[in-house]
Amino acid sequence: MAALSIALSKGRIFDETLPLFAAAGIEPAENPQNSRKLIMPSTHPDVQFLIVRASDVPTYVQHGGAHLGVVGKDVLMEHGGDGLVEPLDLNIARCKLMVAGYPDTNLDQRKRWRVATKFPNCARQHFAKHARQIEIIKLYGSMELAPLVGLCDLIVDVVDSGATLKANGLEPLELMAHISSRVVVNRAALKTNNQPISDLLHQLEAAVSKST
Ligand code: ATP
Ligand code: PRP
């Protein structure tokens, strides 16, 4: 096995992370668009990429299946961060975690809100902070559809341009957190593999400051 395994999800995070790794001298050895491989060697002999689902990145890193990973802060907050350290903000895949719903919804109205989300822990914490009662409806995607078919009153989801909300007659109602992608490291690996991890983090940090 390569000295360092890095868990990445395909799509947005992969696309935006690759230039930063390239600046640190690490590129996938094959074209990731065409490859079905889940373990992808890199041009660096000691580094390989592991292709996992975005919401599984913290789990792989927590349990030592990967030494490091790149994950949205939304997914990280939902996971809770057990067994992980979060040393670097890559400042990519920026968006906001928000409560959204129909325009003119009064969130201070006293009722039991039905909230559809793939972030139940974040939603519970946020609504508890505001002393609002909720019932969670767990979904895995297309959250914006749920209010339209009467599944819920509100959604908790990430919002970037707001176009998806708008196209579905919804609007952002309350900010929960500013989101960007973070490097996470297995807490134990940070001790046992300190040198290569620190070197990589320094190179990535330099790439991030050049790109911003
Ligand atoms: P999964 O397959 O595990 O459900 P996903 O489909 O949400 O994950 P992506 O859509 O690739 O995975 O999103 C990865 C991360 O990118 C999210 O965790 C979030 O931090 C960020 N993100 C999601 N949507 C947007 C967006 N519209 N604009 C910018 N960043 C976004
Ligand atoms: C994400 C998110 C919203 C949308 C927000 O979905 O779940 O639906 O982006 O972006 P906007 O504010 O710019 O419209 P994504 O496009 O990643 O699809 P997904 O549901 O497959 O994750």
If you measure from the C-alpha of residue 71 to the centroid of ligand 2, how many angstroms do you get, rounded to a whole number?
16
pLDDT digits over 147-194, tens only?
Answer: 999 999 999 999 999 999 999 999 999 999 999 999 999 999 999 999
Answer yes or no: pTM beyond 0.85.
Answer: yes
If you measure from the C-alpha of residue 86 to the centroid of ligand 1, how many angstroms do you get, rounded to a whole number?
18
**Fold that domain 95-177 belongs to in CATH:** D-Maltodextrin-Binding Protein; domain 2 (3.40.190)
pLDDT digits over 6-18, tens only?
Answer: 999 999 999 999 9
Give yes or no on whether 4-93+180-211 and 95-177 have one common fold: yes
HEC sequence for the chain: CCCEEEEECCCHHHHHHHHHHHHCCCCECCCCCCCCCCEEEECCCCEEEEECCHHHHHHHHHCCCCCEEEEEHHHHHHHCCCCEEEEEECCCCCEEEEEEECCCCCCCCCCEEEEEECCHHHHHHHHHHCCCEEEEEECCCCCCHHHHCCCCCEEEEEECCCHHHHHCCCEEEEEEEEECEEEEEEHHHHHHCHHHHHHHHHHHHHHHHHHC
Nearest ligand to residue 168 Cα: 2
User: How do the domains of the chain map onto residue ranges?
Assistant: 4-93+180-211, 95-177
Q: The domain at 4-93+180-211 falls in which architecture?
A: 3-Layer(aba) Sandwich (3.40)
